[in-house]
A and B are shown apart, each in its own frame.
Chain A
Amino acid sequence: MPQANADIIRLDGAEKHFGAVNVDIIRLDGAEKHFGAVRALSGVDFHVGAGECVGLVGHNGAGKSTLMHMVAGTLVPDSGKIVVRGVTEDNFSVPRAQQLGIRCVFQELSLCPNLSVAENTRINHSSLTGFGWRRKAADLIAAKLDEIFPDHGISAFDIAGDLSIGRRQMVEVARAFTLTQDPLDLVILDEPTSSLDAHTAGQLLAFVRRFVAGGGSCILISHVLGEVLQNADRIVVMRDGKVVAADAAKSFDRDRLVTAMGGAEGHQKAATETAKTVAGPLRVRARPTRQQDGKELVAHAGEIIGLAGLAGHGQTDLLLAIFNAAGRAKAGIEVTAPVALVAGDRQSDGIFPQWSISENIGIRSLARLRSGFLISPQREAELADFWQKKIGIRTPDMTNNIFSLSGGNQQKALFARALGSDARIVLMDDPMRGVDIGTKLEVYDLVREEARKGRTFLWYTTETEELDNCDHVYVFKNGRIVANLRRDELTEEKIIQSSFGDAA
């Protein structure tokens, strides 16, 4: 699509044009942020005008959340300037943002599960004190819930932890719009509909339109592109920590958005590698515990199976159940070969922090490394060296502590642990989180190569483009498998559609 590329290039003009029309509520100039070696944002210019709903789209890891944390004051940019209503803010922080009327609904739920709905409302309003504050807080949140989500069925005295995830999200959204002494000019909604059903999501978006029509401003982040296209006045597209397109929403359509986000190349790449495998022997047959119909996950030797859907909808649970079933028979799950797990949260579930790289790789293969009652250091070193060469772990010495490696190389060591073992089935629990793109591509190649040799991979990922490596994708929702897509029928749309059930 040559036309789309041209649009990306002329984005700067569009930015300036829109900036001149309105007084900006907030403007970020050249915002940069690094997390260790990872550059999350590289020189982003971003602004929101009064009475404007800005849609922000981009793949996972494009830097949207980092940018929003800066707008909300929870993160300070390494360099760059924050200007609120024309005044440069040098010590921008959460309390300051609140004074200036900027609120944020974060992607991860941020209610206190041990407190009631009213008490959670109090947390966001330092002025809710003194005699009768409980009544005031309860009235405040109840009125706002009634306004946004009529027939919500939530009492202000319900304990947040007792509510379903959807209701918690409703409370959180409503809480951001409650008003006490501070003004309310800009609300950031980071994936506000991710846990809402179609009905309540519609209620929320209608309210956002009313809010914007009344002069408020809003930043809407959503992976449901239709939501953004229909509700935003202006759309900003991010990729790899940069703004790659910004224009009036009317000038975008779905294809142009997807192209700008960088989805197209991925699909082309996947298409080149056509279906190949003849199904080998059965490796895994598993049914989630909450599955009510007959759907089940089936994996044969040599297959790469993707587990998709919104985060935390039972994918990890099923992987862990399969892992457990390999050691001890379990109803509803059949596993016919040894299993290894590559953990997603490598700091807490993957790495032995006190150990060397070699030891971290060898732990899954102790039986093979043993001579007599002891572990043979020589064999351990051989295994480690083999994988260092094969997978390219960048270190001068494999006996160094594992923490001497960068995050991506630590993850490689964990892959080496799984692939170097006797496991014929490798479970991957979203292992690529926070890994740089170079390492990712190397690991993808490795996974495909190992699959050709007959290994089976079950791959839970939150990044849609990773699913292009899979032969089969199961989409999860609320702990159940809701769709089973072959590679040739796999599109982001279909996954999103299935993730949201009747949302389409």
Chain B
Amino acid sequence: MTAAAIENQLKGASTRNAAARARMLRSLLPALSLALVLLAIAWLNPRAISYFGFSLMLNLAIPITLATIAQMFVIAGNELDLSIGTFVGFVGCVTATWLKDAPLLGIVVLAGSIGVYALLGALIHLRNLPSIVVTLGMSFVWQGLAILILPKPGGKAPDWLLSLMAFKPPFIPFPIIAALLIAAVVHFGLMRTSYGVILRGSGGNAAALKRAGWSLLKTKIVLFALTGLFGVLSGMALIGITTSADANIGNGYTLLAIAGVILGGGEFVGGRVSPIGAVLGALTLALAASPLLTFMHIPPDWQVAANGAILIIVLAARVLISRREK
């Protein structure tokens, strides 16, 4: 029987190692797909691989990355936010109008909108509502508010925001530094701190967390508030780059953000998310979105479809790897 026990143990260790290897492979996939896109760009247009090239290609990467991180927080709690795109647009309109003309009002409105997100989390938890329904409804609310604030494109970003986003550090383009910084901060906060464990645990096994005496209401509120916070940062960053706003400016971000999280190795349920992966996923999407396709001489009409094709290919590769895991 002892022999059987030892044999058992060896078998256990080997299947566990296989699982760990597959998980490793899967966590490398976001980096791999980014590298692949970069290689393709370098091959198609070597001159793009330069300080100036990256600054240009990754122009919109910072807001996309921030929106992806925002989405990642709700996904970590097994929820989904379909309003993040219009929320980014709403924040953009507030930034380009009130935050410049009446900074105090702007700050209050933006802080209040984070509070609204926190309340949504509480509502979803207390009434046991599907987050998809609630956030889909909210997406129209944000859009409507954005149009009320800024009926036609215009406004102007505050000067401090403009100069921040125009920052040109030596050697490494600003978007790359910003991406590294975001990844590091969020990774530390969610993956390393002791409360981050509780937040992720609420997606992994909520019942177990409740039994251990944690408040699921609080975890949900915190996750939604963090989504709101990063949504605000995304909207501000976006306006810092585009200099003026439009009520529809963020609409594409909803699906882009979800795709970025999934591309980065996250899963819709189970609290399995990766901040570093999400940032890589967002960068991949930002690069694949237009620079790569333009270099491939794909006409703009077809770029959205081609973008979708890239997504399907990467996600299919992930499914294949996950299947080997089982």
CB distance from B265 to the nearest CB of A (A): 12
CB distance from A394 to the nearest CB of B (A): 30
Q: Are A114 and B9 in contact (CB under 8 A)?
A: no
B4 at the interface (CB under 8 A from A): yes
A 124-168 binary contact with B (CB < 8 Å = 1; else 0): 101011100110000000000000000101000011001110110
Q: Are B207 and A110 in contact (CB under 8 A)?
A: yes
B1 at the interface (CB under 8 A from A): yes
A411 at the interface (CB under 8 A from B): no
Q: Are B2 and A199 in contact (CB under 8 A)?
A: yes
B25 at the interface (CB under 8 A from A): no
Q: Are A112 and B200 in contact (CB under 8 A)?
A: yes
Cα–Cα, bound, A128→B198 (Å): 12
For B125, list chain A residues within 8 Å (CB).
Answer: none
A265 at the interface (CB under 8 A from B): no
For A122, list chain B residues within 8 Å (CB).
Answer: 194, 197
Residue in B20, B195, B271, B272 whose beta carbon sits within 8 Å of that of A162 in the complex: B20
Q: Are B213 and A95 in contact (CB under 8 A)?
A: yes
B43 at the interface (CB under 8 A from A): no
A94 at the interface (CB under 8 A from B): yes
For A112, list chain B residues within 8 Å (CB).
Answer: 200-201, 204-205, 208-209, 271
For A151, list chain B residues within 8 Å (CB).
Answer: 9
Residues of A326-356 at the interface with B, using a CB-CB cut-off of 8 Å, are none
> Interface residues of B toward A: which range?
20 to 34
Residues of A78-119 at the interface with B, using a CB-CB cut-off of 8 Å, are 93-95, 98, 104, 106, 110-115, 119
Cα–Cα, bound, A101→B301 (Å): 66
Q: Are B19 and A162 in contact (CB under 8 A)?
A: yes
A197 at the interface (CB under 8 A from B): yes
Residue in A104, A133, A162, A163 whose beta carbon sits within 8 Å of that of B194 in the complex: A133
Q: Count A interface residues, CB 8 Å.
A: 39
B 209-242 binary contact with A (CB < 8 Å = 1; else 0): 1111110000000000000000000000000000
Cα–Cα, bound, A197→B9 (Å): 11
Cα–Cα, bound, A113→B212 (Å): 15
B102 at the interface (CB under 8 A from A): no
Closest residue of chain B to A103 (Cβ to Cβ) is B212
Residue in A95, A111, A128, A198 whose beta carbon sits within 8 Å of that of B1 in the complex: A198
Closest residue of chain A to B12 (Cβ to Cβ) is A164
Q: Are B23 and A115 in contact (CB under 8 A)?
A: no
For B47, list chain A residues within 8 Å (CB).
Answer: none
Closest residue of chain A to B197 (Cβ to Cβ) is A119
Q: Are A114 and B272 in contact (CB under 8 A)?
A: yes
The verdict on A123 contacting B209 (CB below 8 Å), with A151-B9, A153-B13, A199-B5 known, is yes
A94, A95, A114, most chain B CB atoms within 10 A:
A114
Q: Are A119 and B201 in contact (CB under 8 A)?
A: yes
For B271, list chain A residues within 8 Å (CB).
Answer: 112, 114-115
Cα–Cα, bound, A123→B23 (Å): 23
B203 at the interface (CB under 8 A from A): yes
The verdict on A115 contacting B194 (CB below 8 Å), with A94-B212, A153-B12, A163-B16 known, is no
CB distance from A94 to the nearest CB of B (A): 4
Residue in A74, A120, A130 whose beta carbon sits within 8 Å of that of B211 in the complex: A74
The verdict on A110 contacting B272 (CB below 8 Å), with A133-B194, A199-B1 known, is no
Cα–Cα, bound, A200→B201 (Å): 27
Cα–Cα, bound, A112→B204 (Å): 5
Cα–Cα, bound, A124→B211 (Å): 9
Cα–Cα, bound, A128→B214 (Å): 14
Residue in A110, A113, A128, A164 whose beta carbon sits within 8 Å of that of B270 in the complex: A113
For A133, list chain B residues within 8 Å (CB).
Answer: 194
For B213, list chain A residues within 8 Å (CB).
Answer: 93-95, 98, 126
Closest residue of chain B to A123 (Cβ to Cβ) is B212
The verdict on A110 contacting B194 (CB below 8 Å), with A163-B16, A502-B1 known, is no
For B4, list chain A residues within 8 Å (CB).
Answer: 502
Q: Are B194 and A129 in contact (CB under 8 A)?
A: yes
For B50, list chain A residues within 8 Å (CB).
Answer: none
For A502, list chain B residues within 8 Å (CB).
Answer: 1, 4
Cα–Cα, bound, A130→B192 (Å): 10
Residues of B169-211 at the interface with A, using a CB-CB cut-off of 8 Å, are 192, 194-195, 197-198, 200-201, 203-205, 207-211
For A104, list chain B residues within 8 Å (CB).
Answer: 211
For B203, list chain A residues within 8 Å (CB).
Answer: 114
Residue in B16, B19, B208 whose beta carbon sits within 8 Å of that of A123 in the complex: B208
Closest residue of chain A to B214 (Cβ to Cβ) is A123
For B16, list chain A residues within 8 Å (CB).
Answer: 158, 162-164
Cα–Cα, bound, A151→B10 (Å): 11
The verdict on A94 contacting B2 (CB below 8 Å), with A112-B204, A162-B23, A197-B8 known, is no
B45 at the interface (CB under 8 A from A): no
If A110-B208, A162-B16, A197-B5 are given as contacts, then 19 extra A-B residue pairs at C-beta distance below 8 Å, sorted by A number, are A93-B213, A94-B210, A94-B211, A110-B205, A110-B207, A112-B200, A113-B204, A114-B201, A114-B270, A114-B271, A115-B201, A119-B200, A130-B194, A153-B9, A153-B12, A158-B16, A162-B19, A163-B16, A167-B12
* 3 closest cross-chain pairs (CB), A and B: A112-B204, A110-B208, A114-B204
- In the assembled complex, 21 residue pairs joining A and B whose CB atoms fall closer than 8 Å, in A order, are A104-B211, A106-B211, A112-B200, A112-B204, A112-B209, A114-B203, A114-B272, A115-B197, A123-B201, A123-B208, A133-B194, A153-B12, A158-B20, A159-B19, A159-B20, A159-B23, A164-B16, A197-B5, A199-B1, A502-B1, A502-B4
